[in-house]
Structure 1
Amino acid sequence: MRVPDRFKAVADVGLGVVFAAAVAFQAYRIADSWGGGYWLFGAAAGASVCALALVRRRSPLWTAVAGLTVAAFAVLATRLVHLPAEPGPAALLGLAVLVGSAVRTLPVRTACGVAAAGVAVAAGGLLANPGSAVPVLGGLAWLAALAIGLTSRLFAARRHTVAERVRRAERLELARELHDVVAHHITSIVLQAQAAQLVTRRHPERTAGSLADIETAGSEALTATRRVVGLLRDTAPVSAGHERLGELVENFESRGGRARLRLDAEPSGWPPEVSSTVYRVVRESLTNVSRHARHARTVTVDITQDERAVTVEVEDDAPQAPARRYHRAGYGLIGMRERLEALGGTLTAGPRPGSGWSVRATVPTGERR
């Protein structure tokens, strides 16, 4: 699941505070032990690497390369002019963030190259200052960065795999539905064509009207096909009549919930693919409430219709739990979003102001009334 931008910003601010504290602590310790202006070089090197770590999202590769280059230069400089061991604690912290980010996001070969460069910098620091504990800290920082980066990479790969599996299943289902929608319209065209043959033999003057009906049926079939083409599949579309939607609400209440259905629309006039999509959006939303918002007192299901689209809105009043605030837009809604985008619709899901959760879907009907 994608992390909201404001959380990234808050995390970077916190990281910046930690970096600043590390640079200040390093400068204080060097000034206290070495004296004079020996702290300046280490502070500058550490601040540079930390600054690169704060902008790593713009280019994980080049910020990591730049940070490792600064650290390697610092190692060489300390060896030549007898400065305190580098990379220092601040630079090590920044390098750990850069290497971890690179391992997590970059392609495998590139990530391995960055990780190997991190080992080289740590080894260079150890060779340049064999009696110092700082290079040992560098090795530990590299191991921590590698472990965190690999763990994040594996979790991201797993989420991606699950999401792709959901999308594939939804596309296969849509493909079957496309078959059924086309069959429905083609059957209508065949029946009208057969009727037209009888009309033509008995009442030739009515031929034009029969052909117009066949043309209308063909246009409807073409419109319905275009709305779901591209996501191919082979079960019959689910009806979203008042009775079926009422069954969903009753089933939800039988599990201990309370729900209210308001249907300000006429489902009997919806195309089959619209009807089945509305049904599935309501079903998935109520399932999410059962799983993730068990403390909800009331759930409201509102279905309205205008000249262009059907709008489905499902809201609950469960208290917001921080750990679940961004979890409830789960993998089931990924499939719903795929379906709605195929029909030219939209899906939004998120917390309501104050408390509760809202799912809102719009499904174009493809016709004016």
Structure 2
Amino acid sequence: MRDPRRMSAPADRAASADRVDRGGRAAVDTATTDRIYAGVAAIAAALALVESPRPPWAIALILLALAPWVAVVLRREPPAWLFVALAVLPVVPVVLAADVGVVVFMTTAAASRFASRTDDLRLVVGVTVAVALIPFLPGLVVGRQPNGGGYFAFGDVFGVLVGVLLRRTNRLAARLREADADLAAARVRDERQRIARDVHDLVAHSLTVVVLHVGGARRVLRIDPAAAESALADAERVCRESLDGIRGVVGLLSEQDPRPGVSLDLGELVDAYRAAGVAVALHVDGDPAALPLAARVVLFRVVQEALANAARYAPPGSTVEVAVAAGAEEASARVANPRGPARAPSAGGFGLAGLREQVAAVGGALTSGPAGERWVVEGRLPLRAAVAGA
């Protein structure tokens, strides 16, 4: 019995989580930007207080303008109107004294923070124009224009643009996190589908063999008790192996490597059905063991699923023909059995549907259906695509 823990791998949740984490760190969080803005305002206030003598009332206004930044750093968001009112206080001494200096960057910091938190383009344009006019207000109000107004205006506008870029960066990072979350969810769905296919392959194959053994034991129980006992022993063995396999499926999420240790021996698979009383003729052209691993796994699944269906639906005593070809450019597996009076296996069943997905995943194609008096399941794989999927 193959270890199903090796049949399929869980999604690379660690890699996905790493991408999500990187996406989360791509955005500068608001707490960090608030501390940066508050630092800029504090530095501007300190430089303003030492660059030239100021009257007490101007010093008080500058210090009062720092109050909302203290609240911001403490994660206590002040009302918007109060923040705006206090942010414009440093402009008053600039206008009255006609002395443009670094103090205007206190207002610039507030404007940049505002721009980093709104998507309203009209408000951003209005704020940008307002801060750009600050260095020119003395000339408009008191009729005296200080030197360097243009440089400070450029700095004000640049500060607001930094806020706009931060807003765009945060929005893009949020979209990246959403995309990563969608990708992680898709990987989980794919993982569940793979596990479901593995469980189906394991249980369907094992129970088919068990049913054949038990049925054979029932038919010969009275005339050949020894043969019946042997068949029941085989059924018990398959049941135990299946139970171990199902327990292994439970450990899928802790496994990292889906491939090493997989038994892909078609001879063993065919022998199991022969021992259960199914006549199987196996023809192998080429060396399947030399095929790319992805092709070997998928071809094995094709034969496994088709044999399980043939054991259920083929007329008693009929021969199931299995043909596997390993060519230079293409590999194929074909399983054909006579059609019995019972209904033929549905091409839309979960087993065939999952098998069709597996074959398509390596660039191949799966066909199943009646061909004259026979039911044929055939998978064909181009080896270049299979190499890419290995």
Pairwise same-fold verdict (TM > 0.5) = no
- TM-score range with shorter-chain normalisation? 0.3 to 0.5
- TM-score, normalised relative to structure 1: 0.42
Higher RCO (CA 8 Å, separation ≥ 6 residues): 2
